[in-house]
Amino acid sequence: MLNIVDLRARVGETEILHGIDLQIQPGEVHAIMGPNGSGKSTLGKVLAGLEDFEVTGGQISYQGEDLLDLSIEERAQKGIFLGFQYPIEIPGVSNDYFLKTALNAQRKARGEEEVGTADFLRQLKEAMALLEMDKRYRKRFVNVGFSGGEKKRNEILQLLMLKPDFAVLDETDSGLDIDALQVVAKGVNALRGAGRAFLLITHYERLLRYIEPDHVHVLVEGRIVRSGGKDLADELESSGYTEYGEEAR
């Protein structure tokens, strides 16, 4: 599904990703772990197409296409979703209207008909029930005045509604208490399978107790220094990232 080869990216004059290789197959859940400033979030944003980051080398192919040729919205329309570490506020735009606009923009790009209002509302109610979100969030303005946890939950709501083929969740667990974390995990687990792939970007092992990854990668200073199975996460939890500091240099 996704094949990243020797990816290098920089912002301004500073190279942040120094050659990333990563393959993700349909249906797989990968976790990328690493200390702050290792380039985890950069990887997510480069995958989503944010122009602030200049790709200086390497390739990314996604479902057989050269991802780097596609604009931000084209990537989204082809099923790439980025769960934001810091979700953005849009005053005056209600949550349900935002979701419907996004959903229809994607459907239109894929040559599908617009979603019917009744159908949309049914899906929205189901997703909100799963995430234990009060129905007043439908009419609240997108992320405006939401707490950190509410914003993250709202990201997962968008994920559930947009049903992407490939989702990158950037630090979705940060700022969440255990209850919220479980709810978020429930949302992600509900979408697992069916050829859908996930890339979880996280600082802590905590999230991975609720969403079990197939593969774990350790990203330190812009390079993947180690890859393994779920056990690697447990190991990192006890030993931390310090041992990779030297290795990365």
Report the DSSP beta bridge partners of residue 33: 202, 218
Q: In the set 98, 120, 204, 210, which binds other proteins (CB under 8 A)?
A: 98
Q: How do 80-83 and 223-228 pair as beta strands?
A: unpaired
Q: Return the number of the residue (50 or 178) whose C-beta is nearest other proteins.
A: 50
For residue 130, state whether it binds other proteins (rule: CB under 8 A): no
Quote the least distance from Cβ 166 to other proteins, whole Å. Answer: 13
Nearer to other proteins, 62 or 81 (CB): 81
- In the chain the beta strands, taken as DSSP E runs, fall at 2-11, 14-24, 29-33, 54-62, 65-66, 80-83, 90-94, 141-142, 166-170, 197-202, 215-220, 223-228
The answer to whether the beta carbons of residues 173 and 184 sit under 8 Å apart is yes
Applying CB under 8 A, does 5 fall inside the site for other proteins? no
CB 145 → other proteins: shortest distance, Å? Answer: 14
Q: How far is the CB of 123 from other proteins (least distance, A)?
A: 16
Q: Quote the distance between the C-alpha of residue 96 and its chain's center.
A: 21
DSSP 72-119: HHHHHHTTEEEE-SSPPPEEEEEHHHHHHHHHHHHHHHTTPPPPPHHH
Measure the CA–CA gap between 238 and 193, rounded to whole angstroms.
Answer: 30
198 lies in the binding site for other proteins (CB under 8 A): no
* d(C-alpha 55, C-alpha 105), whole Å: 27
The binder of other proteins chosen from 48, 176, 180, 208 (CB under 8 A): 48
Is 91 an interacting residue with respect to other proteins (CB under 8 A)?
Answer: yes
Sheet hosting strand 54-62, strand order edge to edge: 14-24, 2-11, 54-62, 65-66
59 binds other proteins (CB under 8 A): no
The closest alpha carbon to 9, from 63, 62, 48, 64, belongs to 48
72 binds other proteins (CB under 8 A): yes
Min dist CB 107 to other proteins, Å, is 9
CB of 80 to other proteins, least distance (A): 8
The contact mask relative to other proteins for 156-175 (x = CB under 8 A, - = no) is --x---x-------------
Interface residue with other proteins among 3, 63, 77, 227 (CB under 8 A) is 77
**Whole-number minimum distance, CB 110 to other proteins, in Å?**
10
Is 102 a binding residue for other proteins by CB under 8 A? The answer is: yes
Q: Is the CB of residue 141 less than 8 Å from the CB of residue 95? A: yes
Q: Which is nearer to other proteins, 112 or 132 (CB)?
A: 112
Q: Which residues bind other proteins (CB under 8 A)?
A: 48-50, 52, 71-73, 75-77, 81-82, 84, 87-93, 98, 101-103, 105-106, 109, 141, 158, 162
